[in-house]
Structure 1
Amino acid sequence: MNFQQRKQKILQTLDERGSVDVADLVGLLNTSDMTVRRDLGQLAASGLLYRTRGGAMKVSAATDSFRFANKAAVNAGQKDYICQIAARQIQEGDVIFMDCGSTVFRLCAFIRHRRVTVITNSLPVVVELMGSDVSVNLIGGEVDKDRQAVHGLMADEHIARYRANRAFIGVDGISLQNGLSANSEKEASTAVAMARQAEKTYLLCDSSKLETDKYLYFAPLTLFDALITDNEANPAVIDAYRQAGLTVLN
């Protein structure tokens, strides 16, 4: 496969997924790690993609927020694993909440061809799903430039006007002893508001956040119906969560 063929395949994959890892491209293109990194460098220099640590992101998603793009690229393989499980919980015609978490954002790639309605406070989610089969409802309120998200009293009131089949929310920390914790009151408020209006709430959380406590405790473990995490989670921790009565999908 020559460079032009690889270029076409890389850009097509980014268009479908929004982001991709070097390791995934090595298998997809049947070439070396060095060749993939060189190709990504050339495409980034031409402005055709945004280079991230360990991979690349589609320009339309990356230009919304340099900071958010970097966060979304961290533990990308684990996040995609989680989102594949999450996507299997969604049925055609569902109305779903998606918050502004970087893990939740990566769910976009797995639902963009589904006929569902997404209610979200995340600007990157809106950008990613524009032009897809998904109907998008953007929550109104104050825009947080760093998080590329809408928060505040008006946002919570907007959420309260809708009912959803499922809510997918992220979290900065979770522990059996203290429940759910966050680095921001804004994000905590949005998560609680979405969970209240959903028939079923899923917590999307990579294994690095299990048994960690952050700045603000905001809800007990009963806020969500199921925890979706990756297969690198400590089996002893997963067993402890299940023994405590939690539904864990990994």
Structure 2
Amino acid sequence: MLTFERYEIILQLLEEKKVAKLAALVEATGASESTIRRDLTILENEQKLKRIHGGASLKKRKVEEPSMTEKVQYFAEEKREIGKKAANFIKSGDSIYIDAGTSTQAILPYIETKEIVIVTNGFNIIEEAIKRNFKTYVIGGYVKSGTHAFVGKGAVETIQQFRFDKAFIGTNGIDLDFGYSTPDPEEAQIKQLAIEQSNEAFVLADPSKFGEVSFAKFARLEQASIITSAITSADENAEYLERLAKETTVEVVNNDLHRND
């Protein structure tokens, strides 16, 4: 197969799936892993894709947002690990805010105590929390069809009535200069309020979020700790995590990197 034919197959697969693992690209092209890795580097340099842990993703527009159905399919193993780590920070008696999203949903199966209060703007979080018999409050507003998040004036007014011991927030982008960001300004406002009204805040991020910038900023990096997957430290994103640890005061929780004092 000619080089340009591999490129076409890689880009076509990404158009269909948005994210493709290395194994899937190898199978689709019949090329070796080393060849595909070189192809991905070239295509990334040409601004046609973004390399991520174990594969590649289509470059995202600033206001583009994956649906809940799409999010569930991406980085399932990493999200389970992130959820387990996040749950370790939750103690009996805590009042916690859990943001809408699939990374944040992954926390719930690993929470060991039932003596907590959960506040959320996520339809998926509500269902999971009720199933597990957690005391749960829901902020108002309207529900977005894509992310199943409650946003708008009602959500803002309701969340302002609460204060939290800890907040667990999802993100679409983490950038050294721009901070944490998400495509929708209305969701960004809810995330910002949750962080400001918490004693501690944690942003949960799978490997695809590093180096990304979305449309609406919701916090500076130092306003929250980052919980990510230890798997990330073994791939191309390790260098980015090292920069986060060295160039900022943010704490990165992935078993290897710690706060830069």
Deviations 1:154-207 (A, max 9, x none): 211111111110000011001112211211112111100101111000000111
% identical aligned pairs: 27
SS at match of 2:93: coil
For structure 2, which runs of at least 5 residues remain unmatched after alignment? 1-66, 255-261
Q: How do residues 218-233 of structure 1 correspond to structure 2 at under 5 angstroms?
A: 218-224=218-224, 226-233=225-232
Q: Report the Cα offset of residue 86 of structure 1.
A: 0.3
Alpha-carbon distance in structure 1 between the residues aligned to 2:70 and 2:120: 20
Alignment size in residue pairs: 183
SS at match of 2:162: coil
Q: How do residues 22-61 of structure 1 correspond to structure 2 at under 5 angstroms?
A: none
2:148 maps to 1:148: yes
For structure 1, which runs of at least 5 residues remain unmatched after alignment? 1-66
Higher mean C-alpha displacement, 205-214 vs 105-114:
105-114
| RMSD of equivalent CA atoms | 1.6
Letter in 1 for 2:250: L
Question: TM-score with structure 2 length normalisation?
Answer: 0.66
Q: Report the Cα offset of residue 111 of structure 1.
A: 2.2
SS at match of 1:165: strand
Q: Name the counterpart of 1:249.
A: 253
Question: TM-score with structure 1 length normalisation?
Answer: 0.69
Higher mean C-alpha displacement, 74-83 vs 112-121:
112-121
Letter in 1 for 2:107: L
Alpha-carbon distance in structure 1 between the residues aligned to 2:74 and 2:115: 29
Instruction: Specify whether residues 76 and 161 from structure 1 end up closer, same or farther in structure 2 by C-alpha distance, changes over 3 A only.
Output: same
Q: Report the Cα offset of residue 145 of structure 1.
A: 2.3
Alpha-carbon distance in structure 2 between the residues aligned to 1:227 and 1:92: 22
SS at match of 2:96: strand
Deviations 1:27-79 (A, max 9, x none): xxxxxxxxxxxxxxxxxxxxxxxxxxxxxxxxxxxxxxxx4244123111001
CA contact (8 A) 1:80 1:106 kept: yes
Q: Name the counterpart of 1:174.
A: 174
Alpha-carbon distance in structure 2 between the residues aligned to 1:129 and 1:218: 25
CA contact (8 A) 2:98 2:104 kept: yes
Q: How do residues 44-193 of structure 1 correspond to structure 2 at under 5 angstroms?
A: 67-111=67-111, 114-193=114-193
